[in-house]
A and B are shown apart, each in its own frame.
Chain A
Amino acid sequence: MFLLLYEGFGPLRDPIGYNYEVFRSIELTLISSAIAAVVSVVLFTPLSYYFARNKNSIGETLSDIPASIPHPIVGVAILVIVSPLTPFGKFLLSIGINFFDSVLGLIVALTIVSAPIYIKSMQPFFQSMNMAHENYAFGLGASKFRTFVSVVLPNSGKGILGASLISMSRAMSEFGSISIVAYYVLQQPFYGVNPAPVLIFQYYTYYGLGAAVTASAVMILVSIAMMILLRIVKR
């Protein structure tokens, strides 16, 4: 990593590596990864809590699958879902839902690949929570849902923030699935913009190592900032 930073801003520096296009693609990656993390928080916080409090090996294995298969498969699967070749795909397209080369598709892919990381981070957090609080709330007559919303969630802010940053970092580094689903985005305000990992790959193939290393160095700076933020949050 430090070698890339040194080479990227030093001997192998190529101005193409920090032109406007690079910053736009980092912006797209940051925004789409952040939205994917928010989607994970909304959809998978209750599931992580359920896994932490109940034994469900089938459910846990299913939630691990996206993390354990090659990610291009995730990309292909997403394309099959919205393919006009399938009735479901036809239906989605008829109501204007398109995952191919769209911000929506990018977010869906990033959510699928980063959600298992979110669940795996939240589960031990919930397991380490003192169950005396929940049992006390149940004893006061609160339902399981009410206890989750009014007792567990208000005391989980730090855990949720930490897990969502880890999951966002994972989404930022995704290449396999998004290179198939959204090699570039054909939607405003990001028309023609590639996600950062794809752009770095493209720079390598078009302009050679120098541009790719410089663009990588810029991206690494952003990732380091994320990691520092995560450390601060976790303290």
Chain B
Amino acid sequence: MIEAEVKKRLGSFSLDANVSDEHFICLTGKNGSGKTTLLNLIGGMLTPDEGHITLNSKEITKLPIERREVSIITPDSCIPHLDVDRHLVWGAKRKGLNVEHDYMTEIKTSLGIGFDGKVRKLSLGMRERVALATSLISKPELILVDEALSNIDNHRDFIDAFRNLAAKAKIDVMFTTQYPEDSSQADHHYRLEAGKSTRLF
């Protein structure tokens, strides 16, 4: 359950957003509407001027990124020099989690990761698959996906698979998308317009 009531001014832009939901949350809005700013506030890359953020009843407003249990994925997110298999377990290793072989196989099959090699040499879509899978395996409480689903082939099927895996691991997901129809695959839908958020369902 993510609850955020935040205000942030960045130059002439001002964000005033209110989100309170769980499971699979879709965030839509035009370029410059504040989607990335909101995700950066929840992820810890930015600090709100006013307001608070709680995740599963724990106050995280002022926690550093690494202590929030929030993983943020943009199209550039990856650890470039690692091989795919080492990348997939990198986050889990940092947290001392044991990754079962069967779980790893399930994730790789469901998310279409049937390739190997250095992550920096993969195509954008392949890299995004690996980054999203790595986040799932590291079991954070919330995954923020900033436009990192759009470059994947058959992305609607991928969203379904990703949503099922996240639900099974009890991880909330908040994702932005440039395709408004993607919201039909979400449990909740928020729209941002000029920094103001509206809950559509």
Contacts and interface: CB of A to CB of B under 8 A. Distances in A.
5 contacts: A132-B74, A136-B78, A139-B71, A140-B135, A154-B81
Interface in B134-187: 134-135, 138, 140
A19 interface: no
A142 B70 CA distance: 12
Interface stretch (A30-38, A52-60, A79-87, A143-151): A143-151
B91 A141 contact: yes
A45 to B, nearest CB: 17
Contacts, number: 66
B66 A136 contact: no
Interface in B38-62: 43-45
A182 to B, nearest CB: 40
A142 B69 CA distance: 11
A205 interface: no
A127 interface: no
A138 B64 contact: yes
B131 interface: yes
B101 interface: no
Interface residues of B, number: 28
Interface of B: 43-45, 64-66, 68-74, 76-81, 90-91, 94-95, 131, 134-135, 138, 140
Given A133-B77, A136-B78, A139-B135, 8 more contacts: A132-B76, A132-B77, A136-B79, A140-B138, A141-B66, A141-B69, A150-B79, A151-B79
A22 to B, nearest CB: 43
A155 B69 CA distance: 25
B2 to A, nearest CB: 14
Interface in A144-186: 144, 146-147, 150-151, 154-155
Interface residues of A, number: 19
Contacts of A137: 79, 90
Given A130-B76, A144-B66, A155-B81, A136 B94 contact: no
Interface in A65-104: none
B60 to A, nearest CB: 12
A187 to B, nearest CB: 41
Contacts of B79: 133, 136-137, 150-151
Contacts of B78: 133, 136
B38 to A, nearest CB: 15
Contact of A135 (B65, B90, B94): B65
A41 B154 CA distance: 46
Given A140-B71, A140-B138, A133 B80 contact: yes
